[in-house]
Amino acid sequence: MSFRVFIPTAGIGSRLKGLSKHINKALVTIADKPAISHIVEKFPIDVEIVVALGYKADSVREFLTLAYPERTFLFRHVSKYEGEGSGLGLTLLECQDLLQCPFVFCSNDTLVTNDIPVPDKNWMGYFNAQDNSQYRSLRIRTGVIEEICAKGAEGDVKTYIGLAGIKDFEQFWQAMVSDNSGSAINIGESFGLRHLLPKKIFPIEFDWHDTGNLPALEVTRRNFKRKVDANILEKEEEAIWFVNGKVIKFSVDHQFIRDRVLRAQTLVGFVPEIKASTDNMYVYDLIDAEVISKHPSPTQFNRLLDWLVDFWTPVSLDEHEQSKFNQQCMGFYRDKTKERVNQYFSRFEQIDQAETINDLRLPDVMSMLDIVDWDSLAQGSACRFHGDLHFENILVNKNSDIPFTLIDWRQNFAGNMIFGDIYYDFAKLNHGLIMCHELVDKNMFNVRQYADNIQMDFMRKHTLVECEKLFENWLTENGYDYKKVQLLTALIFLNIAALHHHPYSLLLFYLGKQMLHESLLNA
């Protein structure tokens, strides 16, 4: 039968608190893709989907357009999506003209594993939940819904999950439009559905997973298995999604995305081909490959280094250009490090002080940073660069003449999009040999802080330890300064500590502080 699907995404998602600060709650990641993908993919490709837009509207539109170019989406911007006068009912009413046919209503925080029936009859989805306090519920008698109850109803009731098939759409809209009390605005689709009870609404049980509040979201994320073997540490302002045979990179920073796309044009043959981009996202085809961190070996690492020699094409600079580049390196290494360290102290309410780390007394960080030989460190070696070259960003291709593909490249080096310092790539590679994201993702680390006494430990793969030693030898044999690489590696750990979650942030910071102290002793 011919029908449409309606997904309201206008609301601000306040129950998700900080998770919806930068993205619409429909884009919160569940098993490597946004929640809304789990809804969209439940329906045939030829079914038109009406999407109500409001909060973070552009990101929802951009994602659906990039991820599903073969589908038809009908977008409608809602005039008011927060504050007095807003509500799900208003969102529905402003999409009324697009829903003049039988349709399936699906809340954007409702995921189900069952097939979703067509609206060839009026039906409402339910689940046997233990706690109905946050949800409307259904009272069922002899296979038909007898009553749509308010939140917190008691007795023999079933939880309504925000999923319904509406066959008798004319009567539904008549009820919604004719209400003058404001109830339709506040209650939403349940108001119109109550007026369909005399025409019979059938209950359908679903395996329901809620994403609308933090406790429920945590449970849902555990229940949905990831299908992509990638170790991605969640960030508030960025995301990587694997959907519909594509990889979509999201960032709240427009300039970040724009520069990433531009840089990809200078890295052809080494990074994936960008198929399309928007202000907040770019997309490329999913590659038949696995990250090198899954099965690292010294032999494979040697092959990678041989391949990277062709990637690290040197850039010849005259005296003036070299001086300017050194200034860029100084800002990137010294100034940004101090800024990030202060950001770490502010975000995690820490103070800079002398501390004992694993039974070794160390001075405060800023005093150590003040005695770094920055002039020497900022003598950059210009080359084509990646900028975030660790094992999670290096793919081993399975069916390609090209052995490796580099992903998640940095958008610039201190504002320079053409070349960067080869030592920064060396240090990024080195830091990834030390800290394995796969093991971090499994919480295989410990860090304990008692006033100014810190004990820390983290698991490492033996093969990565072997690769680290191999890398040290390779750098030395090829005339590079290994001590410089170690110092930059320490700075990288200090830099990224502010960007990650607690307690991983503590581990990164104190590892960076420890390595900085060792580098200064060995200088």
From 191, 223, 255, the end of a domain falls on: 223
From 171, 193, 223, the end of a domain falls on: 223
Residue 418 lies in a domain: yes
Could you list the residue range(s) of the whole structural domain that residue 397 is in?
Answer: 288-522
Closest residue by Cα to residue 336 from 107, 108, 494, 513: 494
Query: If DSSP codes are grouped into helix, strand and coil, which group holds residue 7?
Result: strand
| pLDDT exceeds cutoff 70 at 231 | no
187 confidence band (pLDDT: 50, 70, 90): very high
Residue 218 lies in a domain: yes
* Spatial distance between the Cα atoms of 263 and 257, rounded to a whole number of angstroms: 10
Please indicate, yes or no, whether residues 170 and 298 belong to a single structural domain of this protein.
Answer: no
pLDDT of amino acid 233: 65
Residue 228 lies in a domain: no
Please indicate, yes or no, whether residues 219 and 324 belong to a single structural domain of this protein.
Answer: no
Residue in the block written with tokens 């796969």: 438
pLDDT of amino acid 255: 96
CATH number at residue 507: 3.90.1200
> pLDDT of 363-420, one tens digit each?
999 999 999 999 999 999 999 999 999 999 999 999 889 999 999 999 999 999 999 9
Please indicate, yes or no, whether residues 43 and 127 belong to a single structural domain of this protein.
Answer: yes
Strands 29-30 and 33-34: antiparallel
Please indicate, yes or no, whether residues 40 and 167 belong to a single structural domain of this protein.
Answer: yes
| pLDDT exceeds cutoff 70 at 425 | yes
pLDDT of amino acid 229: 66
Q: Where are the beta strands (DSSP E) in 144-291?
A: 144-149, 158-166, 202-205, 208-210, 238-243, 246-251, 276-277, 281-285, 289-291
CB atoms within 10 A of CB 223: 13
Query: In Å, how far from its chain's centre is CA 37?
Result: 14
| pLDDT exceeds cutoff 90 at 228 | no
| pLDDT exceeds cutoff 90 at 154 | no
Please indicate, yes or no, whether residues 211 and 294 belong to a single structural domain of this protein.
Answer: no
* Spatial distance between the Cα atoms of 189 and 105, rounded to a whole number of angstroms: 8
> pLDDT of 475-502, one tens digit each?
999 999 999 999 999 999 999 999 999 9
Give the contacts of 103 (CB within 8 A, at least 6 positions apart).
3, 4, 5, 6, 50, 119, 165, 166, 169
Q: What is the mean pLDDT of residues 141-159?
A: 93
Residue 277 lies in a domain: no
pLDDT of amino acid 237: 86
pLDDT of amino acid 14: 87
Residue 273 lies in a domain: no
Residue 381 lies in a domain: yes
152 confidence band (pLDDT: 50, 70, 90): confident
Please indicate, yes or no, whether residues 307 and 184 belong to a single structural domain of this protein.
Answer: no
Q: Where are the beta strands (DSSP E) in 62-187?
A: 73-77, 103-106, 110-112, 123-127, 137-141, 144-149, 158-166
Residue 231 lies in a domain: no
Closest residue by Cα to residue 105 from 5, 203, 208: 5
pLDDT of amino acid 491: 99
Structural domain total, the chain: 2
pLDDT of amino acid 133: 84
| pLDDT exceeds cutoff 90 at 131 | no
| pLDDT exceeds cutoff 90 at 106 | yes
Residue 386 lies in a domain: yes
From 223, 250, 270, the end of a domain falls on: 223
Q: Please tell me which residue, 83 or 472, carries the higher pLDDT value.
A: 472
Closest residue by Cα to residue 344 from 180, 498, 201, 495: 498
Please indicate, yes or no, whether residues 514 and 390 belong to a single structural domain of this protein.
Answer: yes
| pLDDT exceeds cutoff 90 at 17 | no
Residue in the block written with tokens 């920064």: 424
| pLDDT exceeds cutoff 90 at 260 | yes
Q: Where are the beta strands (DSSP E) in 151-201?
A: 158-166
Strands 453-458 and 355-357: parallel
CATH number at residue 184: 3.90.550.10
3-state helix, strand, coil split of the chain in percent (to 5) is 40, 20, 40
pTM: 0.88
251 confidence band (pLDDT: 50, 70, 90): very high
Please indicate, yes or no, whether residues 160 and 52 belong to a single structural domain of this protein.
Answer: yes
Q: What is the mean pLDDT of residues 309-319?
A: 98
| pLDDT exceeds cutoff 70 at 210 | yes
Q: pLDDT averaged over the chain?
A: 95
| pLDDT exceeds cutoff 80 at 230 | no
Please indicate, yes or no, whether residues 397 and 490 belong to a single structural domain of this protein.
Answer: yes
Question: Which helix (H) or strand (E) segment is 507 a member of?
Answer: helix 504-522
Q: What is the mean pLDDT of residues 237-259?
A: 95
468 confidence band (pLDDT: 50, 70, 90): very high
pLDDT of amino acid 294: 86
Residues forming a β-bridge with 1: none
Residues forming a β-bridge with 239: 250
DSSP result, 298-313: HHHHHHHHHHHHHHS-
Please indicate, yes or no, whether residues 369 and 518 belong to a single structural domain of this protein.
Answer: yes
- Cα-based distances in Å from 468 to 301, 388, 463, 523: 10, 17, 9, 20
Residue 303, both tokens: 């092959």
> pLDDT of 262-299, one tens digit each?
999 999 999 999 999 999 999 999 999 999 988 899 99
Q: What is the mean pLDDT of residues 249-267?
A: 96
Please indicate, yes or no, whether residues 348 and 204 belong to a single structural domain of this protein.
Answer: no
Please indicate, yes or no, whether residues 336 and 417 belong to a single structural domain of this protein.
Answer: yes
What angle do helix axes 504-522 and 482-496 make, rounded to 10 degrees?
Answer: 150
